[in-house]
């Protein structure tokens, strides 16, 4: 049951309540450092804008859009409520893993079942030994990826190419982050659910939670709210409202590894649902046991689908060892800390760059995401061990690895 908090404003954005930071044991003065972090990232050329949401104990305490959706002077300002981002590899957890959790709860997906139980053609060369759990832990033995978009002429042929991909090593032995493994998992979900991934996850998760702006292949009526991604991709046209990832595009825009779009406000609802053990405002989409099983470190800094916090990278250094989340190549991240009942969402379109230019500096994005996670963790004022000191300098202040112009 959600806590009773004073001055709560229900349904302020996407259905998640909002409240002053002090009402849930956080410091608004510390959270205000997020402004400096993001503004520094924009000035450093990392991205044209960002949406940030921080929540704790059932409410959002920081929800803000920064900058604009593109580098053009007349571009729309970013809104954490309404700006839709290409979530890239957040698809792996927000769509594919979420769908797997529902099917696991319903007894339609067995974690230690061989993949060929659901996909009979997935045999040969050791593939018959790959389990659903192997796919979720990125231990299938499949390679990281392949250029489907160069060899496939339609989604059906792209799917066949995925399913025919041979293993590079025996399943279960070593972790290798694999988009192809996530795609196979997406096909398993479809077979177990008896319907396409996008339709099932919308019906089973997004619809019940009121996540109205989350889904694959956003309709043209929403394109004006979508932050653009690459200006000159292999497709030969600027991308806005269609998936940035070329392999997901080859698979028809719906893939286990990428293709999902959504707002920071919608992701906040899902984050809170997970912190609540799978329930939100009386709607249960996951069991609490499924949430624990999929998000607990199963070795190698990974749960099932979810990544756990290594004390580095985009989760920073100040979240607990039980924190879990994921990132996306377009410049997105979501981290959830059950020990502090806290979540941190950062959405950007880092890959949006002027025609002919390379991607914006990855060091800028990396520092911004990690600093925001740290600031959120350090803004918690009711730690059992006492208030932790704020550092005198954040990563964005040092600007290590940033372009010289960005550090002046």
pLDDT tens digit sequence for 208-241: 999 999 999 999 999 999 999 998 888 889 999 9
Question: Mean of the pLDDT values across residues 122-130?
Answer: 97
Interhelix angle 98-105/288-295, nearest 10 degrees: 130
Q: Which are the contacts of 342, defined by CB distance < 8 A and separation ≥ 6?
A: 54, 55, 56, 319, 336, 376, 377, 380
For the segment 197-201, the average pLDDT, to the nearest whole number, is 98
End-to-end CA distance of the chain: 49
The helix, strand and coil proportions of the chain, stated in percent and rounded to the nearest 5, come to 35, 15, 50
pLDDT attached to residue 372: 98
Domains of the chain are: 9-87+214-241+253-407 (3.40.710.10), 98-193 (1.20.58.710)
Instruction: Report phi then psi at 250, rounded to 5.
Output: -65, -30
Give dist(CA 370, CA 113) in Å, integer.
37
Q: What does the alpha-carbon distance between residue 397 and residue 36 come to, in Å, rounded to a whole number?
A: 9
Lowest mean pLDDT among 167-176, 305-314, 379-388: 305-314
Taking alpha carbons only, the member of 188, 183, 194 closest to residue 118 is 188
The encoded tokens of residue 96 equal 């594919």
Q: Which residues pair with 56 in a beta bridge?
A: 59, 342
Q: Which residue in this structure is represented by tokens 């990690």?
A: 370
Q: What digits encode the pLDDT tens for the residues 264-284? A: 999 999 999 999 999 999 999
User: Are 214 and 263 in contact, with CB atoms under 8 Å apart?
Assistant: yes
Q: What is the C-alpha separation between 165 and 142, in angstroms, rounded?
A: 7
């Amino acid at each position: 049951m959600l806590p009773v908090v004073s001055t709560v404003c229900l349904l302020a954005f996407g259905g998640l309540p909002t409240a002053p930071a002090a009402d849930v044991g956080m410091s608004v003065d510390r959270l205000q450092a997020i402004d400096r972090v993001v503004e520094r990232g924009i000035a450093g050329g990392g991205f044209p804008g960002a949406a940030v949401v921080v929540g704790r104990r059932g409410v959002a305490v920081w929800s803000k859009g920064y900058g604009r959706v593109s580098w053009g002077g007349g571009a729309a300002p970013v809104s954490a409520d309404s700006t839709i981002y290409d979530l890239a590899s957040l698809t792996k957890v927000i769509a594919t893993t979420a769908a797997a959790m529902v099917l696991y709860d319903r007894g339609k997906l067995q974690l230690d079942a061989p993949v060929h139980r659901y996909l009979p053609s997935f045999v040969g060369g050791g593939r018959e030994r790959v389990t659903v759990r192997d796919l979720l832990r990125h231990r299938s033995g499949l390679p990281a990826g392949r250029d489907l978009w160069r060899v496939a002429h339609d989604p059906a042929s792209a799917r066949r190419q995925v399913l025919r991909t041979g293993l590079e090593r025996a399943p279960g032995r070593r972790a290798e982050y694999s988009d192809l493994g996530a795609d196979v998992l997406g096909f398993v979900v479809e077979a177990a659910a008896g319907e396409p991934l996008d339709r099932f996850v919308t019906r089973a998760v997004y619809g019940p939670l009121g996540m109205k702006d989350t889904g694959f292949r956003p309709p043209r009526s929403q394109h004006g709210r979508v932050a653009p991604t690459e200006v000159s991709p292999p497709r030969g046209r600027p991308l806005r409202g269609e998936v940035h990832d070329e392999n997901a595009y080859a698979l028809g825009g719906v893939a286990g590894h990428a293709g999902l779009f959504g707002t920071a406000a919608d992701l906040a609802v899902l984050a809170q649902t997970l912190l609540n053990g799978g329930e939100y405002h009386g709607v249960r989409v996951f069991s609490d046991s499924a949430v624990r099983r999929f998000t607990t470190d199963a070795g190698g800094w990974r749960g099932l689908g979810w990544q756990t916090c290594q004390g580095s990278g985009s989760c920073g250094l100040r979240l607990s060892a039980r924190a879990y989340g994921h990132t996306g190549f377009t410049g997105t991240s979501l981290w959830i800390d059950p020990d502090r009942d806290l979540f941190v969402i950062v959405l950007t379109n880092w890959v949006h760059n002027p025609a002919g230019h390379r991607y914006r500096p990855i060091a800028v994005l990396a520092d911004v995401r990690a600093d925001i996670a740290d600031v959120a963790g350090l803004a918690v004022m009711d730690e059992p061990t006492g208030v932790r000191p704020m550092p005198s300098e954040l990563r964005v202040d040092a600007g290590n690895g940033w372009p010289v112009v960005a550090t002046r």
